[in-house]
Chains A and B, each alone.
Chain A
Amino acid sequence: MAATDMTAETGTPSTRARRLGALARSELTLLVRNRYALFTAVLMPPLMVLVLRSTLAQADLGPTGMNALEGALTGGLALMLVLVVYLNLTSAYVARREELVLKRLRTGEVTDGEILTGTALSAAAPALAQSVLMVLAGTLFLDVKAPQRPELLLAGLLLGTVMLAGLAALTAAVTRTTESAQITTLPLFMVSVMGSGLFVPLETFPDGVAEVCELLPLTGVTTVIRTGWLGTGGGSELLEAAVVAAVWAILSGYAARRWFRWEPRR
């Protein structure tokens, strides 16, 4: 017995951080080798900022207190999270499940939560890189003010990442193939684009509609990000947005653990 205990103790012990790092690293490698996912992660976000800017240039931004470029960059950050975290992660979860990778992983030391988190980290990394690039590009080259409340901006990005990773896992649960992921991710994508104040400011919506839109997953995140960067808004409006974002993040994380599917349907 002493001998067997010895072998268990020699060698590098497997820690949570090491396991998460190993999973995230291999997922990042796979991201770089997947042309479609790489395009979504690298080129789509700046393209979206351009589209947002030309759309917002024609909108009445008066009541929002920001100009078209500021609206495009802050909205672009939120939309970037949808692309880089939600769309790509949904495909990654589905692909790994259908290849029976998840089933195989679950026979090892890594826990279920670590598998979901480690994979999510591989989407959080490019999301962070895009955020840094967009803030730098805006501040250094486009005459946008530097983030007014950086801690709030970071919190918004973080909440958005957690929430969208959870929603990606949930979406993956109802998605059978990576091809059909392009369809199953569409509803949240469309709802976010139309109703979360990205292309059309919520202030221009009728009151009843705007109130419902306030509760959409990405609306709270967008508001927190905007307040963090531009310093506009604040007070009860900010608090409400932060609560909405946090509730979505917690609920989607919990629901993902509860309903995620680990093996293909037969």
Chain B
Amino acid sequence: MTNDEYEYEYAIRADGLRRRYAGARGGFEAVRGIDLAVEHGEIFALLGTNGAGKTSTVELLEGLAEPSGGTVRVLGRDPYRQRAEVRPRIGVMLQEGGFPSDLTVAETVRMWAGCTTGARPVGEALELTGLGGRAAVRVKQLSGGERRRLDLALALLGRPEVLFLDEPTTGLDAEGRRETWRLVRRLREGGTTVLLTTHYLEEAESLADRLAIMHGGRIVAAGTPAEVTAARPARIRFTLPEGVPAGRLPLSLRAASEDGRRVEIRTPDLQQALGELLFWARESAVRLEGLDARSASLEEAFLDIARDATDPRDQTTDTFGTEKAGV
């Protein structure tokens, strides 16, 4: 707490963050030393496989639990110990939160507004998330997507400076997802800082200013989407006609093939490699079936990282409980 001013440069800041769940054989450490710095007005995405520790981390940032190690600052304050000062300025949407099923949508928002500093009018909150026409409907009659939007409406009710969204679009259809993205972008334009978790990589790619990929309780890659993907190779795939062995391809392409016909090329310079391949194909009058060339996507990067990070010596599995204690 000595350097509040310094830490207030960031909307969210975590240093050496750890979270251990009590349990048999020393318990299970879900968060294993995380550093994060989210700037004001930024959309920051936390990615990871199931069980990577995203929700455990977000709960620490929201102040729902006390870290077993390290520090968290949200708007310069400790979200757990200085809860009363932090809560009025943040909005939270849990991955799994509930509402009384026998209240109507409007009643639910009104109740929440009574518990929120500077709450928006009920109608405004519902319009914001496209629930304006559903105000009089009981919560139990809402679809899964509508419940998600009601949850979002509550998170936005107090015009938060920092918004935490744990898998905000899970269960939404494509249109609902895009609606939510538009809303989140609009909030950023208004200066809101957004930290979201997602397992939709396209969501992170299109929304996030910066992102971090978690695996086994640690951050294994971080940066802008472009930075995270830049270090990864592009990929070309095609099938050679019968009678044309992969060995005839130019050596410089460093093509790999398992059966001699289906070929994959991984390259840091897609244009160069593709040009060379197409030139060779025309010269040799070879037709490349199913030709597919793509730059490194976040998805590729993500899968790569998840693969790399699964070091056999570390036996890190993604399931709680089966994790070897005290690794």
A104 CA to B119 CA in the complex, in Å?
17
Tell me the nearest residue of chain B to A106, going by C-beta.
B64
**Are B118 and A11 in contact, CB atoms less than 8 angstroms apart?**
yes
B7 contacts partner chain A, Cβ-Cβ < 8 Å: no
Residues of B within 8 A of A96 (CB): 100
**Are B102 and A100 in contact, CB atoms less than 8 angstroms apart?**
no
Interface centre among A26, A29, A30, A100 (most CB of B within 10 A): A26
Tell me the nearest residue of chain A to B92, going by C-beta.
A107
**Are A30 and B87 in contact, CB atoms less than 8 angstroms apart?**
no
A: interface residue count bin = 20 to 34
Interface string of B106-144 (1 = CB under 8 A from A): 011011111111110000000000000000000000000
A7 CA to B88 CA in the complex, in Å?
11
**Are A22 and B102 in contact, CB atoms less than 8 angstroms apart?**
no
B50 contacts partner chain A, Cβ-Cβ < 8 Å: no
Whole-angstrom distance between the Cβ of B137 and the nearest chain A Cβ: 14
Knowing A8-B88, A8-B89, say if A108 contacts B98 (CB, 8 Å).
no
Knowing A7-B118, A108-B112, say if A14 contacts B97 (CB, 8 Å).
no
A215 contacts partner chain B, Cβ-Cβ < 8 Å: no
Interface centre among A29, A100, A108 (most CB of B within 10 A): A108
Whole-angstrom distance between the Cβ of B134 and the nearest chain A Cβ: 18
A13 contacts partner chain B, Cβ-Cβ < 8 Å: yes
**Are B111 and A23 in contact, CB atoms less than 8 angstroms apart?**
yes
B78 contacts partner chain A, Cβ-Cβ < 8 Å: no
**Are A19 and B94 in contact, CB atoms less than 8 angstroms apart?**
no
**Are A13 and B117 in contact, CB atoms less than 8 angstroms apart?**
yes
Whole-angstrom distance between the Cβ of B199 and the nearest chain A Cβ: 20
Whole-angstrom distance between the Cβ of A21 and the nearest chain B Cβ: 6
**Are A22 and B92 in contact, CB atoms less than 8 angstroms apart?**
no
Number of B residues, CB within 8 Å of A:
35
Interface residues of A in 91-115 (CB under 8 A from B): 95-96, 99-101, 103-111
Tell me the nearest residue of chain A to B98, going by C-beta.
A100
Whole-angstrom distance between the Cβ of A37 and the nearest chain B Cβ: 11
**Are A100 and B88 in contact, CB atoms less than 8 angstroms apart?**
no
**Are A11 and B115 in contact, CB atoms less than 8 angstroms apart?**
no
Interface string of B151-193 (1 = CB under 8 A from A): 1001000110100000000000000000000000000000000
B200 contacts partner chain A, Cβ-Cβ < 8 Å: no
Tell me the nearest residue of chain A to B85, going by C-beta.
A8
B277 contacts partner chain A, Cβ-Cβ < 8 Å: no
A111 CA to B83 CA in the complex, in Å?
9
A33 contacts partner chain B, Cβ-Cβ < 8 Å: yes
**Are A107 and B64 in contact, CB atoms less than 8 angstroms apart?**
yes
**Are A23 and B115 in contact, CB atoms less than 8 angstroms apart?**
yes
A18 contacts partner chain B, Cβ-Cβ < 8 Å: yes
B101 contacts partner chain A, Cβ-Cβ < 8 Å: yes
Whole-angstrom distance between the Cβ of B131 and the nearest chain A Cβ: 17
**Are A25 and B114 in contact, CB atoms less than 8 angstroms apart?**
yes
A217 CA to B110 CA in the complex, in Å?
37
Knowing A23-B111, A107-B62, A108-B92, say if A101 contacts B98 (CB, 8 Å).
yes
Tell me the nearest residue of chain B to A96, going by C-beta.
B100
Tell me the nearest residue of chain B to A33, going by C-beta.
B102
Residues of B within 8 A of A58 (CB): none
**Are B99 and A99 in contact, CB atoms less than 8 angstroms apart?**
yes
**Are A110 and B115 in contact, CB atoms less than 8 angstroms apart?**
yes
A103 CA to B102 CA in the complex, in Å?
17
Residues of B within 8 A of A14 (CB): 88, 114-117, 119
Knowing A7-B159, A11-B119, A101-B100, say if A22 contacts B114 (CB, 8 Å).
yes
The 10 A-B residue pairs whose C-beta atoms are closest, nearest first, are A22-B114, A11-B118, A100-B98, A104-B97, A107-B92, A26-B111, A99-B98, A14-B117, A110-B115, A19-B115
Chain A positions near chain B (C-beta within 8 angstroms): 1, 4, 7-8, 10-14, 18-19, 21-23, 25-26, 29-30, 33-34, 95-96, 99-101, 103-111
10 pairs across A/B with beta carbons < 8 Å?
A: A8-B118, A12-B118, A13-B117, A18-B114, A19-B114, A22-B115, A29-B102, A29-B103, A108-B92, A111-B84
